[in-house]
Amino acid sequence: MSRFYRIVLAAAVAVGCLAASATASAHWHGRVGVWIGPGPFWWGAPYYPYYYPPVVVADPVYAQPYPVTQVPGPPNYWYYCRQSNAYYPYVSQCPGGWEQVAPQPAGPPAAPAPAQR
């Protein structure tokens, strides 16, 4: 037999074996099969195409800032007792009743006394 016929015969046997293994694995669900060729990882991992997420373009939202309103605090009062000539909480009772007095700011601090030699 010539060399050409041997190659053709080997190719025909290989194609027949591949067809038989494909038919066996397609129709019969057992564990017997014929495998000719490289290992099962020859084809590589399955290809999963990567898709970029869709581009979302949103109009900018401009929010107007809240207006700043200053609320005056509650009025502060000192309570003065004329009979004892003192302020609350230094005196806890006032027989004549308490007077509401506007708070008096403290005066400027006194100058330190000169050092004596």
Q: What is the pLDDT along the chain (117 residues), one digit of tens a residue?
A: 688 888 988 998 888 777 766 555 545 555 555 666 655 555 555 666 677 888 888 888 888 888 888 888 777 888 999 998 888 888 889 998 999 998 877 667 766 777 776
Question: In the numeric block, which tokens belong to residue 116?
Answer: 């004596």
pTM equals 0.30
Q: Which residues contact 42 (CB under 8 A, 6 or more apart)?
A: none
- As a whole number of angstroms, the distance between CA 13 and CA 7 comes to 10
Q: What is the pLDDT of residue 51?
A: 76
Tokens found for residue 67:
């207006």
